[in-house]
Amino acid sequence: MTSRNQQLFELSQQYIPGGVNSPVRAFKSVGGTPIFFRRGKGPYVWDADDKTYIDYVGSWGPLILGHAHPDVIKAVQAAAQNGLTFGAPTEAELEIAELLCRLVPSIEQVRLVSSGTEATMSAIRLARGYTGRNRIIKFEGCYHGHDDALLVKAGSGALTFGHPSSAGVPEGTTASTVVLDYNDLSGVKQAFGQFGEEIAAVIVEPVAGNMNLVTPQTGFLPALRELCTQYGSVLIFDEVMTGFRVGQGCAQGLYGIKPDLTTLGKVIGGGMPMAAFGGRRDIMQCLAPLGPVYQAGTLSGNPVAVAAGLATLRLVQMPGFYEKLAATTGQLTEGLTLAAKKHGVIFCAQAVGGMFGLYFRENLPASYTEVMSCDKEAFNRFFHAMLEEGVYFAPSAFEAGFVSAAHGDAEISKTLAAAEKVFDTWK
Ligand code: KE4
């Protein structure tokens, strides 16, 4: 019998390219029919066939409180009653700007936008406008949204300029983008040695979460900080995913590095379309209407989205919030590792705050190349077997997973019991 998910997917492909509004949702990497969600509550989601899942995607990171947290819903409803948008300053935007500047010391001024892509695109333009330089450095496997200049794959040699990783991006747009290997200290030093004075910015995910999860090796982030300072380049921490996910001070607080600009998204919008970029006042002052770098947005600072973000940021500041989140996430990764080991399955996992990585390989990957050596087929088998058991992980071997404050012992136990069952019959 055709499931409702299948019926909906069939139909949606007639009206929406690939049947989805964002490619990763189409299950192309794992195969099978994507799930159409109907409802979410806490750590659970229900699909169009009314099947229940424990959700470890959380809309790719925003839902750190879980689905439909009552405080967030109430705040959104209250804000909506007063109007959905004004296209003019509101007090709530000032409140969240002050809060972000207080919670993230490197942010002296901040501008709100509607998506992570807008935040990184604007930060790159701002860094170029501030320095008067064009070249930027990014790292293979890091994703910063779909801005043309950042849709780049590594050039043939380590230091050749990037080539577009998407159709429709003119060669010229990526010609100034150098793509290096994440955690490759010598590569970074070589690039600065060759182009240092021409580099406008380095943009990096301080904990990479878009090639599965890869943590920065000791010395990597400090080296980026030192080299950017030495050559007058702007260090941009793309914390759209790690911001308020890995700790209250974000990844920059965890690793003790002060970037020049930070991009934020996901958690700060609490599930509504909101992101931000901010940092050193002297750089931010280059933005219109003060300075020559143009950036704008009809719904930037949208009051309903800000209300969801404020409600979320208030709750993540509660004492012990991140300790509990990290403990739950660690319970999950340690439990999965033990279950796999017990059944002789080659598998490892790690957690950083409320995000985690699962890998079908012997040891934790430290680079894009090592992530690519994971057994993708094994992951896909695991993904579907767990889905069958009512556990929803990210539908790609190359994505990080997320735990919310709503996940408790019951959900972790259910997940580990399901994994035990799956690994027990692992061929
Ligand atoms: P959005 O434009 O999707 O709001 O944000 C882009 C972005 C920027 N920077 C980082 C570090 C990000 O992780 C993202 C978006 N993350 C993906 C998940 N891998 C969003 C999911 C999707 O593309 O549908």
Q: The domain spanning residue 9 has which CATH number?
A: 3.90.1150.10
Confidence of residue 278 (pLDDT cuts 50, 70, 90): very high
Confidence of residue 227 (pLDDT cuts 50, 70, 90): very high
Domain that holds residue 303: 70-316
**C-beta of 114 in contact with ligand 1 (< 6 A):** no
| Residue 27 falls in which region: left (phi positive, over 0), alpha (psi -120 to 50) or beta | left
What does the pLDDT read at residue 408? 98
Same domain, yes or no, for 266 and 405?
Answer: no
Same domain, yes or no, for 326 and 378?
Answer: yes
Q: Which of 44, 53, 56, 266 is catalytic?
A: 266
What does the pLDDT read at residue 1? 66
Q: Final residue of a domain: which of 252, 281, 316?
A: 316
**C-beta of 138 in contact with ligand 1 (< 6 A):** no
Q: Separation of 22 CA from ligand 1 center, angstroms?
A: 10
Same domain, yes or no, for 378 and 335?
Answer: yes
Site of tokens 């999950």: 332
Ligand 1 atom closest to the Cα of residue 210 is: 19
Same domain, yes or no, for 197 and 298?
Answer: yes
Same domain, yes or no, for 331 and 310?
Answer: no
pLDDT, mean of residues 288-314: 98
Same domain, yes or no, for 31 and 101?
Answer: no
Same domain, yes or no, for 115 and 137?
Answer: yes
pLDDT, mean of residues 260-275: 98
**How high is the mean pLDDT of the chain?**
96
Q: Final residue of a domain: which of 316, 349, 369?
A: 316
Q: Final residue of a domain: which of 254, 287, 316?
A: 316
What does the pLDDT read at residue 6? 96
Same domain, yes or no, for 391 and 248?
Answer: no
Q: The domain spanning residue 167 has which CATH number?
A: 3.40.640.10
> Does the active-site annotation cover 238?
yes
Q: Which of 47, 147, 184, 238 is catalytic?
A: 238
Q: Judge contact between 136 and 127, C-beta under 8 A.
A: yes
What does the pLDDT read at residue 162? 73
pLDDT over 80 (residue 144):
yes
The number of domains in the chain is 2
pLDDT over 90 (residue 337):
yes
pLDDT, mean of residues 248-272: 98
Residue of minimum CA distance from atom 23 in ligand 1: 22
pLDDT, mean of residues 329-353: 98
Q: Which residue has the higher pLDDT, 209 or 1?
A: 209
Same domain, yes or no, for 19 and 78?
Answer: no
Same domain, yes or no, for 345 and 305?
Answer: no
Ligand 1 atom closest to the Cα of residue 399 is: 19
Give percent above pLDDT 90 in the chain. 95
Residue 5 backbone phi and psi in degrees, to 5? -60, -45
Same domain, yes or no, for 29 and 119?
Answer: no
Q: Separation of 61 CA from ligand 1 center, angstroms?
A: 9
Q: Nearest Cα to 277, choosing from 84, 147, 171, 85?
A: 147
Same domain, yes or no, for 136 and 207?
Answer: yes
Kindly give, in sequence order, each residue whose CB lies less than 8 Å from that of residue 182, ignoring residues fewer than 6 positions away. Answer: 139, 140, 141, 142, 204, 208, 211, 214, 216, 220, 367, 368
Give percent above pLDDT 70 in the chain. 98
